[in-house]
């Protein structure tokens, strides 16, 4: 600490004393001029006073003792905003309870694998049941009701007998035969069930049908399945390049409200769409020299998703590992893409419009922000040789080495993603932007019943969040072996409720 000598100024940077000089003779910016020395003394005094006040105020603030209490303190901390960023996701995950299962296989059908593909619809407000369409062998499309006991909330096969049956036996019923079924979805505006086929052909093939419905005074469910639900099964085909005979439809994505299309179809050679007239047309065909990029840019599309808030923006990808960001109002040559380290199996548009959840092979599960991930235009380079996209965060612990048909779904309200692993387990993850922050993190959410799932038939293929009519929270449906397992937000026993 330098001494304060009268008439002298100590320069800390030069480490020497200077004689204080009158401002009229000293240089303009000289630190040792009398005016500058006076100003510095005033500033130092004000800074010291501010520091003393801050120290006094800091000592006056004390944490309430009640916040230190384990139980009551937790409740008050939540009200004060001091809560984990993933509290909603963690609460939802911990509240999911196993609510029974509905078998699809009986004496007529037998399966040594998990359900291959499945879609559960929750449109029956009249009876409060769900309707499921599924396949065990990728050849026969089955249909069944998924009812639950109103008193306990549990799903059970015997409850189907409460409804008027269309035949002498109880569901499941055989709807139609489609070779190599690859996906099952539902388009709400046209009220069509969409079923794609990946059987190699000179054309892209998809089946569509409208479930037969009943009136409000009819005691039967709103959707009829089985023999009484027979309707017109329409085979929609799209012609490709005649030099190829291996076109296959891998996945289908129903179009949102306001879109002029019915759906987008990811194929083995690009992307097609079905317009409102039921005609299938190519959106991004595959072929040598297409759109100034590598000929395999649009090869094997396994995942298609509309951006949550925009009917004309789609996200799709597959093999090679490139996520395409496509505006259907523009030419494919100006679409953007992001390079990923492995082929893509799933794409989900998150509640934040700019973020997307991407799952793929080689244990890839990450959240990308499309504004900052390093998008590039297709005609500027080959997708699979550009720099890898930087994720907002990667999720550690996800395990899928090489399975294309593996289950994953996302609930936007809770921010929870349910993902199947290739070892036959199912895990829940938080995909919100809080929690562990940037970089990598486990983000895994514990759940007692789901953590017990371990299929002896390998990876689980079918996972879907769907609401029972009238429910405020979704039910997680998991296709384990030949059963549709239901996990709902609730308690194990109604007697446990206060």
What's residue 350's pLDDT?
A: 94
What's residue 108's pLDDT?
A: 61
Give the distance between the most distant pair of CA atoms in the chain. 113
Q: What is the pLDDT of residues 384-424, one digit of tens each?
A: 445 678 888 999 899 999 999 999 999 999 999 999 999 99
Mean pLDDT of 98-121: 86
Mean pLDDT of 81-94: 78
Q: Which helix (H) or strand (E) holds 407?
A: none
End-to-end CA separation in angstroms for the chain:
68
What's residue 344's pLDDT?
A: 96
Q: Give 360: exposed, middle or buried? Use CB within 10 Å, 0-12, 13-18, 19+.
A: buried
What's residue 34's pLDDT?
A: 76
What's residue 387's pLDDT?
A: 63
Architecture label for domain 88-496: 7 Propeller (2.130)
Mean pLDDT of 198-217: 92
CA 338 – CA 392 distance, rounded (Å): 13
Mean pLDDT of 415-443: 80
Structural domain boundaries in the chain: 88-496
Q: What is the pLDDT of residues 208-252, one digit of tens each?
A: 999 888 888 888 888 988 765 667 889 999 988 788 888 999 999
Judged against a pLDDT cut of 90, whether residue 476 lies above it is answered with: yes
Q: What is the pLDDT of residues 121-149, one digit of tens each?
A: 998 999 899 999 999 999 999 999 999 99
Contact indicator for 422, 400 with CB cutoff of 8 Å: yes
What's residue 376's pLDDT?
A: 67
Judged against a pLDDT cut of 90, whether residue 361 lies above it is answered with: yes
Judged against a pLDDT cut of 50, whether residue 383 lies above it is answered with: no
Where is mean pLDDT largest: 174-188, 286-300, 325-339, 361-375?
174-188
CA 330 – CA 283 distance, rounded (Å): 11
Mean of all residue pLDDT scores within the chain: 84
What's residue 411's pLDDT?
A: 96
Residue 317: pLDDT band (50, 70, 90) is: very high
Q: Which two tokens stand for residue 173?
A: 């019923």
Contact indicator for 301, 347 with CB cutoff of 8 Å: no
Percent of the chain whose pLDDT exceeds 70? 83
Count of CB atoms situated within 10 Å of the CB of 126:
17
pTM above 0.85, yes or no: no
Q: Give the 3-state DSSP-derived string for 267-291, with helices as H, strands as E and coil as C.
A: ECCEEEEEECCCCEEEEEECCCCHH
**Higher-confidence position of 33 and 411:** 411
Dihedral of alpha carbons 307, 312, 315, 316, sign = positive
Percent of the chain whose pLDDT exceeds 90? 49
Contact indicator for 66, 72 with CB cutoff of 8 Å: yes
Judged against a pLDDT cut of 90, whether residue 81 lies above it is answered with: no
Three-state DSSP class for residue 43 = helix
């Amino acid at each position: 600490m330098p001494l304060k000598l009268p008439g002298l100024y100590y320069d800390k940077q030069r480490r020497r004393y200077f004689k204080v000089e009158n401002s009229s003779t000293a240089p303009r910016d000289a630190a040792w001029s009398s005016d500058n020395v006076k100003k510095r003394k005033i500033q130092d005094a004000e800074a010291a006073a501010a520091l003393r006040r801050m120290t006094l105020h800091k000592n006056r603030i004390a944490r309430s003792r009640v916040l230190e209490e384990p139980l009551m303190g937790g409740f008050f901390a939540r009200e004060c905003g001091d809560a984990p960023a993933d509290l909603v996701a963690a609460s939802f995950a911990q509240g999911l309870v196993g609510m029974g299962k509905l078998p699809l296989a009986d004496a007529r059908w037998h399966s040594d694998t998990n359900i291959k593909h499945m879609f559960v619809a929750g449109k029956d407000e009249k009876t409060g049941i769900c309707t499921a369409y599924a396949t065990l062998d990728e050849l026969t499309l089955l249909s069944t009701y998924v009812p639950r006991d109103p008193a306990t909330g549990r799903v059970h096969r015997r409850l189907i007998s409460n409804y008027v049956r269309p035949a002498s036996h109880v569901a499941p019923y055989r709807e139609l035969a489609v070779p190599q079924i690859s996906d099952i979805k539902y388009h709400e505006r046209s009220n069509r069930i969409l079923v794609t086929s990946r059987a190699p052909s000179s054309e892209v093939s998809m089946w569509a049908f409208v479930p037969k419905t009943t009136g409000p005074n009819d005691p039967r469910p709103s959707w009829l399945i089985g023999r009484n639900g027979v309707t017109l099964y329409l085979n929609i085909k799209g012609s490709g390049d005649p030099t190829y005979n291996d076109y296959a439809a891998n996945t289908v994505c129903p179009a949102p409200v306001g879109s002029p299309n019915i759906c987008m179809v990811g194929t083995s050679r690009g992307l097609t769409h079905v317009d409102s007239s039921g005609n299938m047309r190519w959106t991004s065909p595959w072929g040598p020299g297409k759109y100034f990029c590598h000929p395999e840019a649009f090869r094997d599309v396994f995942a298609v998703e509309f951006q949550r808030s925009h009917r004309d923006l789609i996200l799709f990808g597959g093999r090679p590992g490139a996520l395409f960001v496509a505006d259907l109002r523009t030419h494919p040559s100006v679409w953007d893409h992001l390079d990923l380290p492995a082929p893509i199996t799933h794409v989900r548009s998150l509640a934040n419009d700019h973020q997307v959840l991407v799952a793929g092979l080689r244990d890839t599960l990450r959240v990308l922000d499309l504004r900052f991930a390093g998008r590039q235009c297709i005609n500027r380079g080959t997708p699979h040789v550009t720099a890898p996209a930087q994720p907002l965060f990667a999720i550690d612990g996800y395990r899928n080495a090489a399975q294309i048909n593996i289950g994953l779904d996302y609930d936007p309200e809770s921010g929870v993603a349910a993902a199947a692993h290739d070892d036959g387990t199912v895990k829940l993850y938080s995909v919100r932007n809080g929690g562990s922050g940037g970089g990598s993190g486990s983000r895994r959410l514990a759940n007692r019943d789901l953590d017990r799932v371990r299929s002896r038939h390998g990876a689980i293929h079918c996972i879907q969040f769907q609401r029972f009519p009238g429910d405020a929270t979704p039910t997680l449906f998991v296709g384990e072996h030949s059963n549709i397992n239901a996990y709902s937000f609730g308690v194990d026993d109604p007697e446990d409720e206060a």
